[in-house]
Amino acid sequence: MKTGFDFSSNTKLLDKYLRISESFDMIKRVVVTGGRMSAMYMVDGFVKDAVMEKILEFVMSADVDKTQKLKTAEDYAREFIPYVEVSFTDEIDEISTAILSGTIAYIIDGYQKVILIDAR
């Protein structure tokens, strides 16, 4: 199964797949970045607080005009994700495996691919 361009559909799919409402170990953090809705998924305790703060600092300060010009998740990551180990996928199985392995999955409205940030 693949993700699409619609934020609501993607988050509903991932919420169901990861059982977000049933597990207290799964974290979903919804933020607005550059005027776009976005959500980060991670396992509680797998991501260091300082790392998460740094990522949130960058994405929450994203300029609306600049983000509107970025057409893909890859473009967005080059501008606003301050980590080297970043990959992209639209395969739900790969996304869930990455999250359960300690990676942050970052979904942004309007981008088909999910940004996977390995910040362990």
Q: Note the pLDDT of residue 102.
A: 92
Q: Tell me which of 84 and 5 has the higher pLDDT.
A: 5
SS (HEC) of the chain: CECCCCHHHHHHHHHHHHCCCCCCCEEEEEEEECCEEEEEEEECCCCCHHHHHHHHHHHHCCCHHHHHHCCCHHHHHHHHCCCCCEEEECEHHHHHHHHHCCCEEEEECCCCCEEEECCC
Considering the chain, what is the average pLDDT of its residues?
90
Instruction: Grade residue 8 by pLDDT with cuts at 50, 70 and 90.
Output: very high
User: What is the mean predicted confidence (pLDDT) over 93-105?
Assistant: 94
pLDDT band at 6 (very low <50, low <70, confident <90, very high): confident
Question: Is 90 exceeded by the pLDDT of residue 115?
Answer: yes
The pLDDT value given to residue 27:
92
- Evaluate if residue 53 carries a pLDDT over 90: no
pLDDT at 2 over 80: yes
